């Protein structure tokens, strides 16, 4: 067998287990979700075909629109918070000094902590009586700014975006540092010879070279934000008064709390469609921006 043929078989054998697991645990559940979205099913017993009734109920439910609005807040906070902050940190921490390695490790630390632990930490920080945030406001003589950070429906969602953004900055920091480390040194040297430095070099050389990584980071941000669940579930459970309800918690509560598996499947399918729409729009906008460099 020619070398190229052996290489193709080696690649196929190496990828086959991952592809099989992806099909089994990602694609198959998506297909089943679409299928059961057309049925009235409690999770046990017989199911009843009801055509598009579940989907009509989703779009008529004000809680769904509240959850979608909250998810858009998370998406905006993630895309305009996690990506720029991680990119700036990657540019600042490119060197390999001991201090910078320690800072990089500290930034990545939330990624290795359990979501339950992170949720409990931020719950205590936001606690109205013993939380460090209200304590700090008192110490700064800004007691009039003290709030029920997770108990007020008007601000609870915005309070939750802080730990969500903080939790995943380390992931995008790694992506951007890997991209920066793979940029050709010759291009950097040529830019210096041509007199490019500072902001001019950043926007004319560095960012265009890692633009593909930035697009991937935005895709991950949007997809991750639209399926955000764990921190919100631990900290508020979607309350108070659906003030922090997200599409994932809305789906979970309908599926596993009131046993409407068909309706929960319809919510899941709509969430997937919305996610794809936002990813496509973001990529079109990012392509348009790339021409401006």
The structural architecture, per CATH, of the domain 61-290 is Orthogonal Bundle (1.10)
The mean pLDDT value for 47-61 works out to: 92
Spatial distance between the Cα atoms of 19 and 27, rounded to a whole number of angstroms: 10
CA proximity to 191, closest of 204, 209, 208? 204
Lowest mean pLDDT among 90-99, 111-120, 246-255, 271-280: 90-99
**239 has pLDDT over 60:** yes
Q: Are 46 and 275 in contact (CB under 8 A)?
A: no
Query: What is the band of 155 on the pLDDT scale with cuts at 50, 70, 90?
Result: very high
pLDDT in tens, 158-198: 999 999 999 999 999 999 999 988 887 777 767 677 666 66
- Give the angle 110-255-243 at the CA atoms, nearest 5°: 60
Please state the domain extents for the chain: 61-290
Please measure the distance between the N-terminal and C-terminal CA atoms of the chain and give it in whole angstroms: 47
pLDDT the model gives residue 291: 45
The mean pLDDT value for 139-155 works out to: 90
Beta partners for residue 49, in sequence order? 39
Spatial distance between the Cα atoms of 157 and 165, rounded to a whole number of angstroms: 13
Lowest mean pLDDT among 13-17, 193-197, 199-203, 270-274: 193-197
Q: Which residue has the higher pLDDT, 175 or 26?
A: 175
CA proximity to 177, closest of 111, 101, 109? 101
**289 has pLDDT over 60:** no
pLDDT the model gives residue 288: 52
% of the chain with per-residue pLDDT over 70: 93
pLDDT the model gives residue 169: 93
pLDDT in tens, 99-130: 888 888 888 888 888 888 999 999 999 998 88
pLDDT the model gives residue 3: 63
């Amino acid at each position: 067998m020619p070398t190229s043929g052996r290489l193709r078989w080696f690649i196929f054998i190496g990828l086959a287990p991952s592809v099989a697991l992806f099909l089994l645990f990602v694609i198959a559940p998506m297909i089943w979700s679409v299928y059961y979205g057309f049925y009235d099913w409690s999770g046990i017993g017989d199911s009843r075909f009801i055509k598009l009734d579940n989907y009509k109920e989703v779009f008529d439910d004000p809680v769904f629109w509240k959850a979608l609005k909250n998810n858009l807040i998370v998406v905006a906070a993630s895309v305009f918070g996690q990506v720029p902050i991680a990119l700036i940190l990657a540019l600042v921490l490119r060197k390999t000094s001991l201090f910078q390695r320690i800072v990089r490790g500290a930034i990545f630390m939330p990624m290795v902590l359990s979501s339950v632990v992170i949720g409990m930490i931020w719950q205590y920080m936001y606690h109205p009586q013993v939380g460090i945030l209200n304590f700090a406001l008192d110490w700064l003589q800004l007691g009039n700014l003290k709030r029920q950070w997770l108990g007020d429906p008007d601000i609870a969602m915005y309070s939750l975006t802080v730990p969500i953004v903080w939790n995943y900055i380390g992931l995008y920091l790694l992506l951007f540092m890997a991209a920066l480390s793979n940029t050709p040194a010759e291009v950097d040297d040529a830019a210096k010879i041509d007199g490019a430095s500072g902001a001019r070099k950043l926007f004319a050389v560095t960012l265009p070279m890692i633009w593909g990584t930035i697009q991937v980071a935005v895709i991950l941000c949007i997809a991750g934000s639209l399926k955000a669940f764990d921190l919100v579930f631990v900290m508020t459970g979607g309350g108070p008064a659906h003030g922090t309800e997200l599409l994932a918690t809305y789906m979970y509560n309908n599926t596993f709390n009131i046993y409407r598996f068909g309706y929960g499947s319809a919510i899941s399918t709509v969430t997937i469609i919305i996610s794809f729409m936002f990813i496509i729009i973001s990529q079109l906008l990012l392509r348009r921006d790339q021409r401006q460099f």
